C-alpha cells in the first residue's frame, strides 16, 4: 500500500472520490478511512501508525471546517502529508484552507487548493514517480493527453467563435 487517505467525515467523499479515481487510473494502491482529528483522535493516531507499518509512503488528509486533520496526521509521521481543505458552510472552505495550510514550522503539510482532491492524488503520484519509471511514464502520458484535450477545446472554441462571425 503506497498511499493512505484519511477523511474527517463521510461527507468529504463526494470531493475525495476524484483522488481515488486518479490513484486508480495510475494503478497506485491505497487505503482509505474516515477518522476525525476532533471526534476520534485515537482512531487517527492508530490509522497513521498502522498505515505507516503497512508501507504507506504518503498520506492524503482531507477535512472541512476547523480542519486540523492533516496537521495532526503530520504530527504522527515523517512521511509526506498532503492536505485537502474541504469546502463547507458557512465559510466555503476558507476556514479549512487556513487551518490546513498555516502549519507551525517543523511539521509541514503540502496543502492543495480548496477541494483539490485530484491534484492531491497527482502530487502523490509525482512523489512516488521519483523512484518509479513506469509511473513516471504514465504521468508523462497523462500530460500529453491533457495537451491534446486542450488543443481539441481550442479548435472547438475557434470554430464556435467563427460561427458567431468574429475572430479570437
- Site for ligand RP5 contains 14 (CB under 6 A): no
- Site for ligand RP5 contains 52 (CB under 6 A): no
- Site for ligand RP5 contains 36 (CB under 6 A): yes
Applying CB under 6 A, among 8, 71, 83, 93 the residue interacting with ligand RP5 is 8
- Site for ligand RP5 contains 114 (CB under 6 A): no
- Between CA 51 and CA 56, with CA 18 as vertex, the angle to 5 degrees is 15
- Site for ligand RP5 contains 27 (CB under 6 A): no
State the minimum distance, in angstroms, from the CB of residue 155 to ligand RP5. Answer: 40
Instruction: Tell me whether residue 63 or residue 125 sits nearer to ligand RP5 (CB atom).
Output: 63
* Site size toward ligand RP5, by CB under 6 A: 10
- Site for ligand RP5 contains 16 (CB under 6 A): no
Distance of CA 38 to the CA centre of its chain: 21
Instruction: Tell me whether residue 19 or residue 127 sits nearer to ligand RP5 (CB atom).
Output: 19
- Site for ligand RP5 contains 95 (CB under 6 A): no
Query: Rounded to 5 degrees, what are φ and ψ at 33?
Result: -145, 160
Q: Which residues bind ligand RP5 (CB under 6 A)?
A: 8-9, 11-12, 36, 63-65, 86, 88
Amino acid at each position: 500500500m503506497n498511499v493512505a487517505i484519511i477523511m474527517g467525515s463521510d461527507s468529504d467523499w463526494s470531493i475525495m472520490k476524484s483522488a481515488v479515481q486518479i490513484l486508480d487510473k495510475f494503478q497506485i494502491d491505497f487505503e482509505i478511512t474516515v477518522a476525525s482529528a476532533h471526534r476520534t483522535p485515537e482512531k487517527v493516531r492508530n490509522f497513521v501508525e498502522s498505515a505507516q507499518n503497512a508501507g504507506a509512503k504518503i498520506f492524503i488528509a482531507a477535512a472541512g471546517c476547523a480542519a486540523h486533520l492533516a496537521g495532526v496526521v503530520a504530527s504522527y509521521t515523517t512521511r509526506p502529508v498532503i492536505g485537502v481543505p474541504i469546502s463547507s458552510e458557512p465559510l466555503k472552505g476558507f476556514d479549512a484552507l487556513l487551518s490546513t495550510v498555516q502549519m507551525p514550522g517543523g511539521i509541514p503539510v503540502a496543502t492543495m487548493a480548496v477541494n483539490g482532491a485530484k491534484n492531491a492524488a497527482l502530487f502523490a503520484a509525482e512523489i512516488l514517480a521519483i523512484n518509479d519509471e513506469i509511473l513516471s511514464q504514465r504521468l508523462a502520458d497523462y500530460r500529453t493527453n491533457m495537451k491534446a484535450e486542450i488543443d481539441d477545446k481550442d479548435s472547438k472554441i475557434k470554430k464556435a467563435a467563427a460561427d458567431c462571425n468574429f475572430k479570437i
